[in-house]
Chain A
Amino acid sequence: MKPDADNLCRSVMSQPPVVLKPTDPLLAALQAMVHHRLPALPVAEDDGHYVGMLPRSRLIALAMPRVLRLEDAQHPLSRLQGSFMQDTLANLQERIDAVADDPVSRHIDPEVPVIGPDSTLMNAMLYLHRQRNILPVVEHRQLIGIVSVWDVLARLGRMR
């Protein structure tokens, strides 16, 4: 029995306003993210081949000392509280400057879950509920859209 299309991600999917290329410099990606006020940007090759997602949390992390960014499940105490540091905005900018020309492909988050257009809507809801703001929709390795919290909230509020 083929499931009804209303319960699938296809029904809430939208087109991302920007798709980054793997070779785009990181600073340009940051600026695009701020301009569109998006929580993450998808990265794909020219032919649409999906590469990954660049989340804003990654950019915030890059402005901090590397040891503070590490999520170390095995040794939770190596997750240091850095509150003793007195970094200025200039210090933070300096760290971003150091990676400004990096290709975005170097900084994509491998943990972002990928959904298909025929994944169930509930599947996407569970991810969004677990603090994911934006999900790439991929079919045959091609990025075909995104499901963002805004797409879903707009439908829930009967705005679309």
Chain B
Amino acid sequence: MMHATTSTVLFGLDPLWLSTVVMIVTYGVIISERLNRSIIALLGAMLMIMFGLLTQEQAVAGIDFNTIGLLVGMMIIVSITRKCGIFEYLAIWSAKLVKASPAGILAMLAAVTAVVSALLDNVTTVLLVVPVTLIITEALKVNPYPFLFSQILASNIGGTATLIGDPPNILIGGQVGLTFNDFVLNLAPVVVVILVVHVVSMHLIWGRRLRASPELRARVMQFDERQAISDPRLLRLATLVLALVMSAFVMARTLGLDSGTIGIAGAALLLMLDNLGKSAEEQSAAVVKVFNEVEWITIFFFVGLFIVIAGVEHAGLLQLLADRLLAATGGDFTRTGMSVLWASAVLSAIVDNIPFVATMIPLIKSMAPAFGGSDALVPLWWCLSLGACLGGNGTLIGASANLTVAGIAERNGIPFHFARYTMIAFPLMLGHVAIACLYVGWRFF
């Protein structure tokens, strides 16, 4: 079997232009949402190969399996863990902690959402917290909108704090080789500040006016959170594996393990523990169920994107863009960082932040020579992460968690309008990015 080793571009066209056209068309269709994003990403990827811009080997080399491994591993761990009911438990427990006062619950559920989001992906977090929120707000007879609005923002804010909290961070961490600790030490401090600001602003906008009668509050106080734990055995196993995975992330450098390995190892361990002692048929049924819950759309979207980006990178487009960006900022490091932060924030509010971040990573990498090596680039990664993650809060389509909450809300008869959301969320998002801007300016530049 012969592999094509060198590529010949179709009709002898200029590879730079051809690859740019393929990327623009791919991204255009992704933004238009006329076609499922995994389909268009794979089509774009295959066009890169068929047009001779990449060989199959180069395309496969462009796929970052560290990122894919981490994503799949965490999806498997989460899909098993979420069934045990611990997150519903946390939500109810936190509501009772504030004596079921609506303003207190508004703040507590934002905090719980942010903390859970830092450890799980944002969509899973809101899928777990929102239904409990709706039950609590129904019992209290208060408007659920402020709670859901606040949880959208909290999930994107909390997700910013860790390597595994939000897809942009998984991408940055996976491709740049930044560890879990790097993310926590450099991003968590500002995330805590932004979260506090968020909770206070939610209180001022809505919380201080929310009221519920003592009888209704008593009803929530009667909720028995222990009943929410549906599978105590699974809870113990999942807690054990999550603790092991987190410790491995923290000690990744000492252990010499990449995040993809840790994610997949945790997934395999939890699958093993969950299936020990089951018959062969039960095992295959359980494993099929878990594998079905892996979000293959996201995985194939990443695979396709990686290849599309490898195509434009190979043709030299990203180097060219990096040079332009450097020229525009006069090669000034601080100005470059601030441009990355604000541009990422505004763009992520309007378009899907995953393709944006995936393109920016090689682009920023190619600036290394101008700024004195790849170690000097580290502050730029924090700008990219803060901008892309926080920017997602700006509009209802800015991040997938936003659309997930809006979807559940609509099905429960709670209207979630784009304009109404954006009018409040966009200025709040700009405020959060301004805090991030002050922070990175003070700490890194």
Contact = CB atoms under 8 A, between A and B. Distances in A.
Interface of A: 65-68, 70, 72, 75, 77-78, 80-86, 91
B227 A66 contact: no
B135 A86 contact: no
A84 B225 contact: yes
Interface residues of B, number: 29
Given A65-B138, A78-B131, A91-B219, A72 B224 contact: no
Given A66-B412, A77-B127, 19 more contacts: A65-B134, A65-B138, A66-B134, A67-B412, A72-B411, A77-B83, A77-B128, A78-B127, A78-B130, A81-B228, A81-B230, A84-B88, A84-B224, A84-B225, A84-B226, A84-B227, A85-B135, A85-B139, A86-B219
B223 interface: yes
Contacts of B130: 78
B85 A86 contact: no
A116 to B, nearest CB: 32
A84 B134 contact: no
B82 interface: yes
Contacts of B230: 81
Contacts of B139: 65, 85
Nearest to A87: B219
A80 B88 contact: yes
A83 B227 contact: yes
A66 B219 CA distance: 17
Contact of A80 (B124, B135, B219): B135
7 contacts: A66-B412, A77-B82, A77-B127, A80-B88, A80-B132, A81-B88, A91-B219
Contacts of A66: 134, 138, 412-413
B197 to A, nearest CB: 29
B394 to A, nearest CB: 24
B128 to A, nearest CB: 7
Interface string B411-425: 111000000000000
B408 interface: yes
B223 A84 contact: yes
Q: Secondary structure at chain A's binding surface: helix, strand, loop or mixed?
A: loop
Nearest to A85: B223
A105 B85 CA distance: 37
B85 A81 contact: yes
A78 B408 contact: yes
Interface in B133-161: 134-135, 138-139
Contacts, number: 58
Interface in B54-106: 82-83, 85, 88, 92
B8 to A, nearest CB: 44
A12 B135 CA distance: 44
A66 B408 CA distance: 11
Given A70-B411, A84-B223, A65 B128 contact: no
B279 interface: no
A75 B127 contact: yes
A78 B408 CA distance: 8
B254 interface: no
A67 B225 contact: no
A28 B83 CA distance: 40
A3 B326 CA distance: 80
A90 B412 CA distance: 22
Contacts of A78: 127, 130-131, 408
Top 3 A-B pairs, shortest CB-CB distance = A80-B131, A84-B227, A67-B134
Nearest to B225: A84
B222 interface: yes
Contacts of A70: 411-412
Nearest to B224: A84
A82 B131 CA distance: 10
| Max count, chain A CB within 10 A of own CB: residue among B85, B131, B135, B413 | B131
B83 A86 contact: no
Nearest to B223: A84
A86 B132 contact: no
Nearest to A71: B411
Contacts of B82: 77
Nearest to B289: A76
